[in-house]
Structure 1
Amino acid sequence: MLVRKLLRRVGFGAGLGALLIAGAALGHAATQPDGLSLNPAASAPAAIGPVTVNPVPAAPSSEFPDAAMSRNDQGDVTVLRLDGIITPGAERSFLDALHALPARRPLVIELSSPGGFTAAGYRMIDAVLAERKGGRPVATRVRDGDSCESMCVGLYLAGYPRYAAPRAEFMVHAPRMAENGRMTLRSTQMMVERLVSLGASQSWIERVKAEGGFSGARDHRETADRLTADGANIVTDLLR
C-alpha cells in the first residue's frame, strides 16, 4: 500500500557564502514514508528550468560536524535522511547517495537540520533539481519533532511534493558569514530570490520581511500547519 501511494504523486541554482549556524539535532534513523505519494503526472509547480550542478571543491577545514546520512529502501522507494549540519562533507555524502540510486527510482529526502554552508547547500539543491529534471520523482519530508532551518529550507523546497508533520518547525533568516557572523543586503536578497524561485510565496516572503525576519536581527520560525494557513507554499502536504 505504501509503495502504491508513493508511486501515485510528484515536480530551482546560485550560491552565497558560508552561513553561520550553531548546534545540530542528531538522531532518528530513516523511516518509511507513510502517507506519502509520488506521481510524475500529478499537478506540480511550473516546469523546472535549466539546472547547473557545480563541481564539488575540496572540502575546507570546518569546525562543524557533518550531518549524518542514512538510506532506507522501502519496496520501490528510497528514503534518504539527512540529520544535522549541511557541510561540504555532508554534501559529498548526499551526492554519493543520490548517484548510487537506480535511475528514476522514487526518492523521499527526509530532513532534520539547523542549516549550514550555503555553497554546499545550493549544490545539493542543484543536484536534486537535476534528478527531478531527469525524471526521478523526489519528495521531501520533515517529521514531527524535527525542524528544518536556514539552508535546510531551500533544500526542502527542492522537492515536490513537500510533506511535513503539522508541528514540524521551519526557520528562515538573513544569511551570515561563518568567518565573522556578518550579513550583507546583497547575500540576503540573493537568498530570498532563491526561495521564491523554488516556490515560496512572494506574499509570504513580504510578510516575513515586514516582521523583520530577513533583517539579521531575528529568526523567523513557523510550524508547518501555520505555514500552510499563511499560504507560504513551503509545505504542500501536511502529514496526519
Structure 2
Amino acid sequence: MSVQKLLRKVGFGAGLGALLIAGAALGHAATQPDGLSMNPVSAAPVTVNPAPAAPPSSEFPDAEMSRNDQGDVTVLRLDGIITPGAERSFVDTLHTLPAHRPLVIELSSPGGFTAAGYRMIDAVLAERQSGRPVATRVRDGDSCESMCVGLYLAGYPRYAAPRAEFMVHAPRMAENGRMTMRSTQMMVDRLVSLGASPTWIRRVTAEGGFSGTRDYRETADRLTADGANIVTDLLR
C-alpha cells in the first residue's frame, strides 16, 4: 500500500505514554516511502513531568535513525533502543523539518529509557499541536515494545502490519530491574490518556500484563480484534 493512500486521513489526540525497557537493539534496513499528502487538525496541549533519566551506558546503544524525504512527506525511522542520545537526534531532526511538513514515524524498538521517551513523546505532541501531521507505523517483521508503544501512540493515524508485534509491561528501572505500583499505575493512566481502551487495559491487567512478571505481547491484528485502540489502521 502506498504511503499516500495509507495516510489520506489524519486526526489528532492528546496525551502521552510512559513505558520502560532496557534490551538489545534491533537491526532493520530503512525503507524508501511513497509520496503522500496529509491534512492536519488541531491537538490539545500536553504537560509532561518526566521521571529522572537513567544514567547513559554503553550497554544500551542509541537507536539508529534514518530520514527519507519524498515529495512533501518525511519518513523518520527509529530502529533500536530509546536512549538520551536517540532522543537528541530525534528532536534535532524534528526541528530541521519545514513547518507543517507531514511526518511518518516508523518504529522498530525494544523500548528504552523513560525520561528520554517522555521527551520524544512530548516533542511529537508539540509538533502536532503546531499543525504538523504526524502518523506512526510499524512494519511487518518489526516490533514495538514497552517505551516504544508510548511513542507509537503519540502519532495519529497509527498504522501497523497485521503481524507486527507490540508489547507492554510494568515499567522497570534499568539499574536494578525493580518496579513500583505507583510507576505502573502512572504508566497505565498515560496509556489510557493516549487512547488505549480501558477495557483492554483491564484485560491485560487481569492476565498479569502489568504485574512485573510478564511481558504482554499481541500482534497488531489481535489488538485490533480486541478493540485495544493501539493500532488505528491495519496495513494490507
Q: 1:214 to 1:34 in 2, by over 3 A?
A: farther
CA distance in 1, matches of 2:107, 2:93: 15
Q: 1:106 to 1:210 in 2, by over 3 A?
A: same
Q: CA deviation at 1:94?
A: 0.4
Q: CA deviation at 1:41?
A: 5.4
What TM-score does the superposition give when structure 2 sets the normalisation length? 0.87
Q: 1:37 to 1:104 in 2, by over 3 A?
A: closer
Q: CA deviation at 1:11?
A: 2.8
Deviates more, 1:160-169 or 1:31-40: 31-40
Q: CA deviation at 1:75?
A: 0.9
CA distance in 1, matches of 2:6, 2:13: 27
User: 1:47-72: per-residue Cα shift (whole Å, max 9, x none)?
Assistant: xxxx2467999994452100000100
Q: CA deviation at 1:179?
A: 1.4
Q: 1:196 to 1:33 in 2, by over 3 A?
A: farther
CA distance in 1, matches of 2:61, 2:141: 21
Deviates more, 1:57-66 or 1:212-221: 57-66
Q: CA deviation at 1:180?
A: 1.0
Check the 8 A contact 1:175/1:187 in 2, yes or no: yes
1:144 paired residue among 115, 140, 144:
140
Alignment of 1:115-194 (within 5 A): 115-194=111-190
Check the 8 A contact 2:146/2:169 in 1, yes or no: yes
Partner secondary structure for residue 91 of structure 1: helix
CA distance in 2, matches of 1:15, 1:166: 25
Q: CA deviation at 1:224?
A: 0.1
Partner secondary structure for residue 126 of structure 1: helix
Check the 8 A contact 1:18/1:177 in 2, yes or no: no
Partner secondary structure for residue 93 of structure 1: helix
CA distance in 1, matches of 2:198, 2:16: 20
Partner secondary structure for residue 72 of structure 1: strand
Q: 1:11 to 1:63 in 2, by over 3 A?
A: same
CA distance in 1, matches of 2:75, 2:104: 5
Q: 1:57 to 1:72 in 2, by over 3 A?
A: farther
CA distance in 1, matches of 2:183, 2:49: 19
CA distance in 2, matches of 1:17, 1:40: 22
Deviates more, 1:114-123 or 1:22-31: 22-31
User: 1:80-120: per-residue Cα shift (whole Å, max 9, x none)?
Assistant: 00000000000001001111100000000000000000110
Q: CA deviation at 1:225?
A: 0.0
Q: 1:176 to 1:10 in 2, by over 3 A?
A: same
Q: CA deviation at 1:15?
A: 12
Q: CA deviation at 1:16?
A: 12
> Unmatched 5+ residue regions in structure 1?
46-50
Q: 1:231 to 1:35 in 2, by over 3 A?
A: farther
Partner of 2:11: 11
> Unmatched 5+ residue regions in structure 2?
none
2:47 paired residue among 21, 31, 52:
52
Q: 1:41 to 1:95 in 2, by over 3 A?
A: closer
Check the 8 A contact 1:70/1:81 in 2, yes or no: yes
Q: 1:213 to 1:171 in 2, by over 3 A?
A: same
Alignment RMSD = 3.6
Bigger relative contact order (CA 8 A; separation at least 6): 2
Check the 8 A contact 1:20/1:175 in 2, yes or no: yes
Q: CA deviation at 1:178?
A: 1.1
CA distance in 2, matches of 1:122, 1:12: 18
Partner secondary structure for residue 218 of structure 2: strand
Q: CA deviation at 1:161?
A: 0.2
